Amino acid sequence: MGTSQSREDYISDSDYEESESGESSQYDDAQETSSSSSQSGTKTLNSLDEVDAKLKSLKLKYATPQSPNVKNPVKLYLHIGGNTPKAKWVISDKLTSYSFVRTNKINGGNDSDDDEEESEGVLGDGFWVLKVGSKVRAKVSTEMQLKMFGDQRRIDFVDKGVWALKFFSDSEYRKFVTEFQDRLFENVYGLKATEENKMKVYGKEFIGWVKPEVADDSMWEDADDGLDKTPESVTPVRGNRDLLEEFEELANGGVQSLTLGALDNSFLVSDLGLQVYRNYNRGIHNKGVSVRFDGGSSKIGSNSTPKKALLMRGETNMMLMSPLKDGKPQAPGVQQLDIETGKIVTEWKFEKDGTDITMRDITNDTKSSQLDPSESTFLGLDDNRLCQWDMRDRSGIVQNMVKGDSPVLHWTQGHQFSRGTNFQCFASTGDGSIVVGSLDGKIRLYSKTSMRQAKTAFPGLGSPITHVDVTYDGKWILGTTDTYLILICTLFTDKDGKTKTGFGGRMGNKIPAPRLLKLTPLDSHLAGTDNKIHGGHFSWVTENGKQERHLVATVGKFSVIWDFQQVKNSAHECYRNQQGLKSCYCYKIVLKDESIVESRFMHDKFAVTDSPEAPLVVATPMKVSSISLSGRR
């Protein structure tokens, strides 16, 4: 366990630092001399020639020019030693140069700096890569995990290792960052990074996403100042917290998913069946009870291990969804498990207008509806479908479970889109509004009364949204991509001066810029190149007036925790000297000895008085752990 405060935060190189300090002291002297001479009544210096002549007459010792006579000069560093006590930065090249080239190959081949542009600003074949001397050749993408240190004129990034570039002037640093962001836009969208094309991609309402420096951040400030602060009766977020592992137990092996309950029990779905755990204030404990899945033939045509488990009806029933094919999430139906008896009571088919269909995901109608003992409906999602399913027939009567064909779920409301939506994931708010993430990075907001047309559609940043979550009050959305989390504020002020969320109406043209939650390049590299961020969640509340306090996501063997209040704070130190969208790198890491399947916070009611949050449950294929955020050192 640990935090993100790692050894890569500052590069100290004696030659470079001495040169900088020498330059600084000499220019300080020059400024002081100039100031005193001005006060003594000397004539005003009206031209650069006069200024230069005056400085020369003072016989100052000029510093050696910091910027060598090389195009795009930089100093290249390599981080070695990983996260060990011997970790350090070493100089890889004291003086080299960088360039952005367009190519069809990452490794080898002849590069050309010529951009073959097509009409209307569309780029030709190939993509942009960053070259630094002969040692770095990386495709410009979010996988580089580029991090900016404006005060050090430095950027860090990942390319088969962790590298840093130091620039010789502020202007050269800013030039690189601007060019990198433009090349990233062009690689993602295949369009030249012109203002016109950026408006075409994002829309004029999202000018703040294109130019964060002109974005209206007042909603972040307003929300931070009171709209969604935790009530005083709830334990406040404290500093100096440690992560304490309360329980760790062996699972039966092959854990596929974690399903937390807000009442007595939580569950692990594994290859062998369903394991039942008891909920406590310090975490979850194995009850020694398990339900084995029947290995016989399924009526709905799927015999694989369930990948999705959804609690319903006061957490006495569970809907299990198994994909038809390995590697594909789509399922033709769901199995309904009675938890008290441990038996599958029925197998439901997905059907619309007499035709069998599939779903890629299911979720509860609202954040708290799994606690409703009479719940008979749930939401479904496929690539181009968003709907609500009902276990009752059209007359509202519970269907008769007779032997033979599987009963058909009733499609109560929803919409089948013609094409192009590429839905991937969804979540519901406390009042039943729905947020949907898509393959193209878009995030759509639907009201609880209409699934046909989104009230608001955020453009995203081009990376597919693999998971999405939303706060109980609908004011904040957390989208997960392979390389970062995107936090979106849905609040806006309507024409009557009322504060609303984007689920209830169009947000107009004052939409706040999102914030990104990222790993540092070093932590990203340590997590492994093949490991992707997944399953970003808010902590769990099911009552109005309570506010989620943390966010958690998983990557490789890391469970990563961010302080929600800190991320929302615009004055947070992470955001200083950044260019572009604000990115937060302040987090805590829970490290396990095998890849983590899922990390989730227990329900808010399980938070104890000396902890600012309910326990975090971390499931790996072989173990399940409960972690407390302690208010003590």
Residue 221 region by backbone torsions, left for phi larger than 0, else alpha for psi between -120 and 50, else beta: alpha
Residues 398 and 497 placed together within one structural domain of the fold: yes
Boundary (domain end) residue, out of 169, 202, 235: 202
Residues 406 and 545 placed together within one structural domain of the fold: yes
Residues 106 and 223 placed together within one structural domain of the fold: no
Residues 610 and 464 placed together within one structural domain of the fold: yes
Which of 491, 493, 445, 451 lies closest to 465, judged by CA?
445
Residues 360 and 503 placed together within one structural domain of the fold: yes
Name the band, by pLDDT with cuts 50, 70 and 90, for residue 111. Answer: very low
- Per the model's pLDDT, the better-predicted residue between 155 and 293 turns out to be 155
Boundary (domain end) residue, out of 202, 228, 247: 202
Rounded Cα–Cα distance for residues 39 and 33 (Å): 10
Q: Mean pLDDT over residues 376-387, rounded?
A: 96
Q: What is the structure's pLDDT at 226?
A: 43
Rounded Cα–Cα distance for residues 477 and 517 (Å): 13
Find the Cα–Cα–Cα–Cα dihedral 372, 378, 379, 385, rounded to 10°.
-170
Q: Mean pLDDT over residues 461-490, rounded?
A: 96
- Per the model's pLDDT, the better-predicted residue between 269 and 33 turns out to be 269
Tell whether the model's pLDDT for residue 575 goes beyond 70: yes
Rounded Cα–Cα distance for residues 587 and 567 (Å): 10
Taking the complete model, does pTM exceed 0.95, yes or no? no
Residues 427 and 574 placed together within one structural domain of the fold: yes
Name the band, by pLDDT with cuts 50, 70 and 90, for residue 27. Answer: very low
**Which of 119-123, 161-165, 187-191 shows the lowest per-residue confidence on average (mean pLDDT)?**
119-123
Residues 267 and 332 placed together within one structural domain of the fold: yes
Q: Mean pLDDT over residues 571-588, rounded?
A: 90
Instruction: State which of 8-17, 263-272, 601-610 shows the largest mean pLDDT.
Output: 263-272
Q: What is the structure's pLDDT at 390?
A: 95
Tens of pLDDT along 327-381? 788 999 999 999 988 899 999 999 999 899 999 999 999 999 999 999 999 999 9
Rounded Cα–Cα distance for residues 315 and 373 (Å): 8
Can you give the CATH number for the domain in which 117 is found? Answer: 2.30.29.30
Q: What is the structure's pLDDT at 21?
A: 35
- Per the model's pLDDT, the better-predicted residue between 58 and 190 turns out to be 190
Residues 123 and 265 placed together within one structural domain of the fold: no
Residues 404 and 322 placed together within one structural domain of the fold: yes
Tell whether the model's pLDDT for residue 452 goes beyond 70: yes
Q: What is the structure's pLDDT at 39?
A: 36
**Which of 403-417, 453-467, 549-563 shows the lowest per-residue confidence on average (mean pLDDT)?**
403-417
At 468, phi and psi to the nearest 5? -140, 145
Query: What's the total number of domains in the chain?
Result: 2
Query: Which residues are bridge partners to 244 per DSSP?
Result: 628
Which residue type occupies 60? L
Q: What is the structure's pLDDT at 237?
A: 35
Which of 486, 482, 478 lies closest to 461, judged by CA?
486
**Which of 212-226, 444-458, 539-553 shows the lowest per-residue confidence on average (mean pLDDT)?**
212-226
- Per the model's pLDDT, the better-predicted residue between 561 and 450 turns out to be 561
Q: What is the structure's pLDDT at 203?
A: 87
- Per the model's pLDDT, the better-predicted residue between 115 and 572 turns out to be 572
Boundary (domain end) residue, out of 167, 202, 237: 202
Residues 521 and 410 placed together within one structural domain of the fold: yes
Q: Has residue 41 been placed in a domain?
A: no
* pLDDT cut 90: percent of the chain above it: 56
* pLDDT cut 70: percent of the chain above it: 78
CB 448 within 8 A of CB 474: no
Can you give the CATH number for the domain in which 468 is found? Answer: 2.130.10.10
Which token pair is 562?
């961010």
Q: What is the structure's pLDDT at 149?
A: 94
Name the band, by pLDDT with cuts 50, 70 and 90, for residue 419. Answer: confident
Three-class secondary structure of residue 45 per DSSP = coil
Tell whether the model's pLDDT for residue 23 goes beyond 80: no
Tell whether the model's pLDDT for residue 61 goes beyond 60: no
Q: What is the structure's pLDDT at 410?
A: 92
Q: Mean pLDDT over residues 120-148, rounded?
A: 88
Q: Which domain holds residue 363?
A: 218-630
Residues 197 and 265 placed together within one structural domain of the fold: no
- Per the model's pLDDT, the better-predicted residue between 295 and 526 turns out to be 526
Tell whether the model's pLDDT for residue 461 goes beyond 60: yes
Q: What is the structure's pLDDT at 13?
A: 53
**Which of 83-97, 182-196, 241-255, 263-277 shows the lowest per-residue confidence on average (mean pLDDT)?**
241-255
Q: Has residue 294 been placed in a domain?
A: yes
**Which of 19-33, 440-454, 514-528, 582-596 shows the lowest per-residue confidence on average (mean pLDDT)?**
19-33
Residues 251 and 195 placed together within one structural domain of the fold: no
Tell whether the model's pLDDT for residue 101 goes beyond 50: yes
